[in-house]
């Protein structure tokens, strides 16, 4: 057969195939995400709702959930991918950079540029992170913990929310000295509790002490990590001063998140940090459960002003630390992206954010939506789009204010993605920093040893990292 006849025959068969094929061919997509499981009826029901909505729009997909254990998700996902089993759509919570370096992850920027919905749903930090690292998509507000206190406690104290560092210390002292929990004993309540590290406190105190970014210039004009600056020292001295007066929880290092929360609910601590607006509302619900019959509300406390201005800490925009990716090896990349793009649309967000009709919300004959108590157990599996508006308030006024702060206080950090051969330095310096901070705050180390900390930090990789930073930063 001549080449011409072969091409004609091929075209004829293609036409026959087109005529005989159904109007809409179904595409199978494999999707893996942390805590998205075939054994969870809500997960399965949401995926089915997404499939139905996409089919109505002309995209017929069969989304198959890949089950992985939540407790060791990042490791399990890495093992699966390295074995050659690579789903079309993947949620990463670490381990993505290694896969991106091996060319397994799709560059999402060209897809987002021509998207119908995602490009309008991005938060400002998403745009910056995608420009720096185009493989992960996590359409959520930045995580910037903000402090809250029981409104009735604040009212009993007769104090306005603090706007300065000194005002915060005065508030913590008043909480400590008062008998706000009504147990008949004053002086036994912590002003503030936390867990693990001081990252929560840093969210509101960094700017107040002049810690304006990950990298700052020293007196000689050289770039140094902010953790070895005088501004950082002043901030840690403030934390240590609070702890010395029993205003800040010295047990923060050994506290877990649930221990931290319990101290707040039981009145052992007056102020707690919520990692997101939604978490602040969860705190409100749990506080009311702990005190039945009391209509308790939480008040949001603002970031204090200081040398760096007033606002939340600068947001790392070097890359997403978690998020959605598409396999560069997938034969169905267009359909895979269509799923993510749909989840950023109003219809997709309604499914992902509002839960199920008759369970998590109800709609009356006029179209008005009301949420049921079950909405407190619902969570978005995909996105929290910046441009989505709930048909009725989904957040409390306090949580909404926290969300508004995330929008108005956004300042990009100057952190960047480290090359792989700096991983050991990053880990080592982090361990040195956290260890010394804990010792400073608990009183195990004095601030006369600050230079010793700086030397140890630099020896652990800080100096090498600063040399590289000087080649990256302008």
The per-residue pLDDT for range 92-135, each reduced to its tens digit, is 999 999 999 999 999 999 999 999 999 999 999 999 999 999 99
pLDDT at 21 exceeding the cut of 80: no
What is the pLDDT at residue 310? 86
What is the pLDDT at residue 3? 28
The per-residue pLDDT for range 50-105, each reduced to its tens digit, is 999 999 999 999 999 999 998 899 999 999 999 999 999 999 999 999 999 999 99
Average pLDDT of the segment spanning 436-459: 97
pLDDT at 20 exceeding the cut of 80: no
The per-residue pLDDT for range 182-211, each reduced to its tens digit, is 777 777 899 999 999 999 999 999 999 999
pLDDT at 230 exceeding the cut of 80: yes
Q: What share of the chain in percent tops pLDDT 90?
A: 88
Q: Cα–Cα distance between 201 and 300 in angstroms, integer?
A: 14
The per-residue pLDDT for range 329-342, each reduced to its tens digit, is 999 999 999 999 99
Nearest to 321, CA basis, from 236, 413, 406, 201: 413
What is the pLDDT at residue 80? 97
What is the pLDDT at residue 1? 38
What is the pLDDT at residue 471? 96
Per the prediction, the chain carries an average pLDDT of: 92
Q: Cα–Cα distance between 402 and 407 in angstroms, integer?
A: 9
The per-residue pLDDT for range 38-48, each reduced to its tens digit, is 999 999 999 99
pTM: 0.84
Average pLDDT of the segment spanning 391-420: 93
Residues 6+ apart with CB under 8 A from 277: 141, 395, 399, 400, 402, 403, 406
**Inter-residue contact 404 to 396 (CB < 8 Å):** no
What is the pLDDT at residue 9? 39
The CA-CA-CA angle for residues 191, 413, 219, to 5°, reads 90
Q: Cα–Cα distance between 168 and 176 in angstroms, integer?
A: 12
Average pLDDT of the segment spanning 370-396: 92
What is the pLDDT at residue 24? 65
The per-residue pLDDT for range 237-283, each reduced to its tens digit, is 999 999 999 999 999 999 999 999 999 999 999 999 999 999 999 99
What is the pLDDT at residue 23? 55
Q: Cα–Cα distance between 420 and 114 in angstroms, integer?
A: 32
What is the pLDDT at residue 15? 37
**Inter-residue contact 315 to 334 (CB < 8 Å):** no
């Amino acid at each position: 057969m001549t080449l011409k006849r072969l091409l004609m025959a091929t075209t004829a068969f293609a036409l026959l195939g087109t005529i005989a094929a159904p109007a809409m061919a179904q595409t199978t997509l494999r999707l893996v995400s942390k805590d998205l499981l075939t054994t969870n009826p809500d997960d399965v029901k949401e995926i089915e709702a997404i499939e139905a909505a996409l089919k109505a729009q002309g995209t017929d997909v069969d989304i198959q959930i890949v089950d992985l254990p939540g407790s060791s998700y990042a490791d399990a996902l890495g093992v699966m991918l390295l074995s050659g089993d690579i789903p079309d759509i993947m949620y990463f919570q670490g381990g993505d950079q290694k896969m991106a370096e091996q060319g397994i992850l799709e560059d999402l920027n060209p897809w987002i540029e021509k998207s119908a919905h995602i490009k309008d749903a991005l938060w400002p930090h998403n745009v910056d992170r995608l420009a720096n690292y185009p493989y992960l998509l996590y359409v959520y507000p930045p995580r910037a913990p903000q402090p809250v206190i029981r409104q009735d406690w604040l009212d009993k104290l007769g104090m306005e929310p603090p706007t300065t560092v000194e005002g915060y210390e005065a508030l913590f002292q008043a909480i400590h000295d008062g008998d706000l929990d009504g147990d008949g004993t004053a002086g036994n309540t912590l002003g503030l509790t936390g867990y693990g590290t001081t990252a929560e406190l840093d969210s509101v105190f960094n700017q107040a002490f002049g810690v304006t970014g990950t990298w700052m210039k020293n007196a000689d004009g050289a770039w140094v990590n902010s953790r070895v600056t005088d501004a950082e020292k002043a901030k840690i001295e403030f934390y240590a001063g609070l702890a010395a007066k029993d205003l800040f929880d010295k047990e923060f290092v050994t506290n877990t998140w649930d221990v931290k929360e319990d101290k707040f609910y039981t009145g052992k601590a007056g102020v707690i940090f919520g990692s997101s607006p939604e978490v602040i509302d969860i705190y409100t619900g749990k506080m009311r459960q702990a005190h039945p019959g009391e209509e308790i509300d939480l008040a949001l406390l603002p970031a204090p002003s200081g040398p760096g201005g007033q606002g939340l800490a600068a947001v790392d925009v070097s890359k997403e630390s978690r998020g959605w990716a598409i396999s560069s090896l997938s034969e169905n990349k267009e359909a895979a992206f269509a799923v993510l793009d749909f989840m950023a649309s109003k219809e997709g967000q309604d499914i992902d954010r509002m839960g199920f009709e008759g369970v998590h919300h109800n709609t009356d004959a006029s179209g008005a939506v009301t949420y049921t108590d079950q909405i407190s157990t619902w969570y978005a599996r995909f996105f929290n789009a910046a441009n989505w508006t709930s048909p009725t308030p989904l957040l409390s006024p306090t949580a909404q204010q926290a969300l508004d702060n995330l929008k108005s206080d956004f300042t990009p950090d100057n952190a960047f993605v480290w090359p792989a051969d700096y991983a050991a330095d990053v880990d080592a310096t982090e361990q040195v920093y956290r260890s010394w901070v804990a010792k400073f705050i608990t009183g195990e180390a004095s601030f006369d040893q600050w230079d010793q900390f700086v030397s140890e930090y630099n020896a652990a990789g800080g100096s090498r990292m600063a040399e590289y930073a000087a080649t990256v930063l302008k």
